[in-house]
Amino acid sequence: MLVGQVTPSMLEHLGFGTFVFFGSFSLLGGLFVLFFVPETKGLTLEEMDDVFGSSKGLAVADQQRQTAIYRRLGLLVDTKILDRISDEEKQSHSEEMLSRAKEA
């Protein structure tokens, strides 16, 4: 918005200098990106946490949050619980989950 307001005045007073002004800022922006912004192509979220120096491990935290949501919705069952129940109960649980999925 600001560029649209100042450009007519700059063209009137600076003429070709307007092109030089905006061109120099574009060049400086490109050099900044080239030298200061790290390449992230082909990196996983965990690797990007390392590149940008995240001490919190946002990708790991996001995975834990997603797992908790799946458990609350009943889409994921705790493996510790599954180890304790019998094969028949596991089968009935699987059938119940399939029927819920078909209903949804």
Q: Which pLDDT score, from 0 to 100, does residue 89 have?
A: 65
User: Whole-angstrom Cα distance, residue 7 to residue 22?
Assistant: 10
- Dihedral (Cα; 48, 52, 53, 54), 10-degree rounding: -60
User: What is the chain's pLDDT, residue by residue, as a tens digit (104 residues)?
Assistant: 788 898 999 999 999 999 999 999 999 999 999 998 888 888 887 787 777 776 666 667 777 888 888 888 877 766 555 555 566 666 676 677 777 777 76
The pLDDT, as a whole number, for residue 15 is 92
* Confidence (pLDDT) at 79: 58
Which whole-number Å values give the CA distances from 95 to 53, 80, 90, in the listed order?
Answer: 45, 20, 9
What is the residue extent of each domain of the chain? Answer: 2-36, 45-103
